[in-house]
Structure 1
Amino acid sequence: MSAAASSWTTPSDVAARVRRRWTDGTLLRVAVEGEFAPIELPLRGPSSSDLGDRVDEARRWANELIRASRDGAHFELVFGEVGGRHVGKSRIPMRAVIATPQQAWALLGVGAEVRRFVSLFGQAPAQARGWVLQHPHAALAAADDWSEILAALEWISRERGAGRFLREVTAPGVDTKLIERRRGVLAGMLGVPAGADAFTQSLGFARRPATVRLRFDPRVFGFPSGFTEGVFRLDELDSAVSSASQALIIENEATYLAAPIPESGVVLWGKGYDAGNPASLRWLRDVPVAYWGDIDTHGFAILNRVRSRLPQVRSVLMDFTTLHAHRERWGREEKPTSAALTHLAPEDTDVYAALVTDRHGERLRLEQERVDWTWALERLPR
């Protein structure tokens, strides 16, 4: 094929242009809405000089388009004349016209998908049809679960705001695994966020309760001797009567388990960014609280979150002295933050600023687990 012929429009080029209407959902929506704007595509073809120099190539090009049109089943061809005084005039295809959606569906070979979409749309209740039209390909992708999705939609709509757990679903063929797998589809139909917690909260269903794990002197809560640790629902622990006189929140689980319990106090597992849960306990508001986390940017971001709930919190083992005493144990923080942390104490702000600006090393971090245990015990609350 000559360089000139390689630029001529091929049947594949025509299909590619039409496929754009399929990809954006237009050719599916028209199957139920019935409004179709014809698609006219100008064809790049041989010029007058090409007809003189490459007449065989031009003839093959035109015949390929004619065959691909399938006598108008895929598209119609509009012919025009090319030529002049030196070369006889010839009629060649000038435009391809897809005048009906049926032609477009046949050209792309998507008839089965269109029929399935029409069926899905017909089954959908009124509240779901807007979403189906906006996201036709997502609806097709969910076709295998369609009857279960609609059953779940009906049950959720009926039980919305009742404070029940989704696990209590009684819709035919529906379980919580189906709801989790198709949460994005259901969220779109229901007009709520698709995130797990936001989905549940927006619909007024019961959420998995937040919990707090802590170690304690049993006398702090009036427990019998022998109880030293527990995992409690946050709302229930928040209402407990506590005589704790001090508390220590620790980010890492292994360190939390090893740390000594302060006298008349409690040790709470912060669990990374979940540290906001123990920090929200009302009976901690009037007692001294210490927080120990990693010396890295996210460690101070968590400390900032804790201090936003408990302004009296002081950090422990997150200072320059601890950092430089463990230089040989420094590591690298993969994804540091540089967010503005407005709740830090001045001494914590200084360390955080040094980390953000790489003052002592690029993306520097000292993980809590790498702090010498003897060093730690000498500085933890007793």
Structure 2
Amino acid sequence: MHDPDHVMDQVGVRYDKNWRDWLLSGTETQFSFALGAPSAQVIGRDFESVSRWVNTWHSWAEAHPAAHLRSTTRRTVVGSQKVPTHLDVPTLDDLVSLDPVLANHWQRANERWSRIRALPTDVLVPRLRPRLQQILDLANHDFEVLLEAVRWFVENPRSGLTTRQVPVTGMHTKWLARNRGLVLACLNSREEHSADGYQIDDELEQAALDPLGLTALPVHVNLIIADPVERARIGGLRHISAPLPEVTSLPVQPDTVLIVENKESAYLVPDRPRTVIVHSLGNHLNVLDQIGWLTVAADQLYWGDLDRAGFTLLSRARARLPHLVSVLMDPMTLHQHGALAVADDTRVDLPEPNLTDAEAAALAALTTEHRAYLRLEQERLPAPFALNQLFRALERHTRDGAR
């Protein structure tokens, strides 16, 4: 015998499974839910419990007039007894009215879908169907931005503007990185599935902006010219941040390039002959094999955070520079300074399959016995230790290169 809570769980399951089809097809549907009515034998054996169950359903039905109890008569040892067998619900609107949560969801779905269908574009139902819940999950402000953005892109398919130049109030770089898939789906773009996976802090690259007719900002590369002689050729500048083409054309010829994940750690490195430090690239590691003087440097070293993201970035950098050697990203460094590590609960992509055995061991050591993760940021390493290990690695590679 199913009680009202059990049947309402069934209502919720059926709604969750079918609401998208009901929304898109507009089909009126009747519903029926079996109540697990007791047999004549059960009624005769436990008449008191059955009576309470029947009364519970009648009370529930009185409070929910949109639904109707269907009943039958059982002939039992205690006489003929009328028991409910099914809960019948005439329409979809009646169904969702049984649960305020479903009613609110259904109302929101209808309101937003009607506005999506009113956009000046050929909305393809199959393309948007898997994104309907994502559309409903948008805050009201973000949904309004979505509609306005789609209208603007329909009217301006090849604007050549940057994201920040698009005159849609509320649409900025982070908003577009987070919602680009929805925008492209509403525009009926074939590129929509390549739109997912961006993080809200990502700066969208040109390939990601092409389907929207936008232009990416030029990637800036941050450098430290650690050789005073090299600095003299470029006006004495030690710290440089410039677009990739300008960095590529710099008249420098370093023997050693040290790639450092974060700015603060890069600033620790003092002057050193024929050395350039590249830092703070973030996810723009694709520039590494586009800088001619970098790719021909005899020694290419990488120093990043001892965390899962750090090893993923290292692997991606090595995919561009196959001879890249890591520094301070080994089990010994983690073991000696593990007390400085903190918990790491960020979502991280797996690294490329090009880590060395030592790097893979350090990555594995970041997982605790409780299946949690650790993060040891490079800035937390004591500066004397970090510089000592760094210069030992630099000198070792210099000697090896001279042999």
TM-score normalised by the chain length of structure 1: 0.72
Q: Which residue of structure 2 aligns with residue 284 of structure 1?
A: 294
- Indicate if the aligned counterparts of 1:288 and 1:313 stay in contact, CA closer than 8 A: no
Q: Which residue of structure 2 aligns with residue 3 of structure 1?
A: none
Structure 2 spans left out of the alignment, 5+ residues: 399-403
**Deviation string for 1:37-83 (max 9, x for gaps)?**
43222212333244335445433432432343349842232222222
Alpha-carbon spacing, 1:148–1:25, altered in 2? closer, same or farther (3 Å) = farther
Say which is worse superposed, 64-73 or 75-84, in terms of deviation.
Answer: 64-73
Map 1:320-331 onto structure 2 (within 5 A): 329-331=336-338
Q: Which residue of structure 1 aligns with residue 74 of structure 2?
A: 82
Q: Which residue of structure 2 aligns with residue 158 of structure 1?
A: 155
Q: Which residue of structure 1 aligns with residue 85 of structure 2?
A: 94
Q: Which residue of structure 2 aligns with residue 142 of structure 1?
A: 138
Q: Which residue, out of 243, 253, 261, partners 1:244?
A: 253
Q: Which residue of structure 2 aligns with residue 267 of structure 1?
A: 277
Alpha-carbon spacing, 1:56–1:271, altered in 2? closer, same or farther (3 Å) = same
Q: Which residue of structure 2 aligns with residue 46 of structure 1?
A: 38
Q: Which residue, out of 320, 329, 333, partners 1:309?
A: 320
The whole-number CA distance in structure 1 between the counterparts of 2:184 and 2:80 is: 61
Deviation of the 1:291 alpha carbon: 0.6
**Deviation string for 1:80-125 (max 9, x for gaps)?**
22224x3422221112222321321222245565444333322222
Alpha-carbon spacing, 1:212–1:289, altered in 2? closer, same or farther (3 Å) = farther
Q: Which residue, out of 227, 234, 237, partners 2:237?
A: 227
Q: Give percent identity, aligned residues only.
A: 21
**Deviation string for 1:250-270 (max 9, x for gaps)?**
425444223244434422226
Q: Which residue of structure 2 aligns with residue 380 of structure 1?
A: 394
Provide the secondary structure at the position in 1 that maps to 2:110.
Answer: helix
- Indicate if the aligned counterparts of 1:29 and 1:136 stay in contact, CA closer than 8 A: no
Deviation of the 1:229 alpha carbon: 1.3
Deviation of the 1:246 alpha carbon: 1.7
Letter in 2 for 1:212: V
Confirm or deny that 1:256 pairs with 2:256. no
**Deviation string for 1:215-252 (max 9, x for gaps)?**
224764775543211112224312x1423142321425
Q: Which residue of structure 2 aligns with residue 19 of structure 1?
A: 12
Confirm or deny that 1:210 pairs with 2:201. no
Alpha-carbon spacing, 1:79–1:351, altered in 2? closer, same or farther (3 Å) = closer
Number of residue pairs aligned between Structure 1 and Structure 2: 359
Letter in 1 for 2:164: R
Alpha-carbon spacing, 1:339–1:29, altered in 2? closer, same or farther (3 Å) = closer
Structure 1 spans left out of the alignment, 5+ residues: 1-7
- Indicate if the aligned counterparts of 1:214 and 1:231 stay in contact, CA closer than 8 A: yes
Say which is worse superposed, 228-237 or 215-224, in terms of deviation.
Answer: 215-224
TM-score normalised by the chain length of structure 2: 0.69
Q: Which residue of structure 2 aligns with residue 121 of structure 1?
A: 113
Letter in 1 for 2:150: L
- Indicate if the aligned counterparts of 1:74 and 1:103 stay in contact, CA closer than 8 A: yes
Flag the structure with larger Rg: 1
Letter in 2 for 1:266: V
Letter in 2 for 1:380: L
Provide the secondary structure at the position in 1 that maps to 2:71.
Answer: strand
Confirm or deny that 1:170 pairs with 2:181. no
The whole-number CA distance in structure 2 between the counterparts of 1:169 and 1:338 is: 34
Provide the secondary structure at the position in 2 that maps to 1:83.
Answer: strand
The whole-number CA distance in structure 2 between the counterparts of 1:280 and 1:152 is: 34
Alpha-carbon spacing, 1:289–1:160, altered in 2? closer, same or farther (3 Å) = farther
Letter in 2 for 1:35: T
Letter in 2 for 1:22: Y
Q: Which residue of structure 1 aligns with residue 401 of structure 2?
A: none
**Deviation string for 1:110-156 (max 9, x for gaps)?**
55654443333222225446266544444334372344321111113
Alpha-carbon spacing, 1:168–1:73, altered in 2? closer, same or farther (3 Å) = same
Q: Which residue, out of 50, 62, 68, partners 1:58?
A: 50
- Indicate if the aligned counterparts of 1:330 and 1:364 stay in contact, CA closer than 8 A: no
Provide the secondary structure at the position in 2 that maps to 1:242.
Answer: coil
The whole-number CA distance in structure 2 between the counterparts of 1:154 and 1:337 is: 34
Map 1:358-373 onto structure 2 (within 5 A): 369-370=381-382, 371=385, 373=387
Say which is worse superposed, 34-43 or 69-78, in terms of deviation.
Answer: 69-78
- Indicate if the aligned counterparts of 1:279 and 1:306 stay in contact, CA closer than 8 A: no
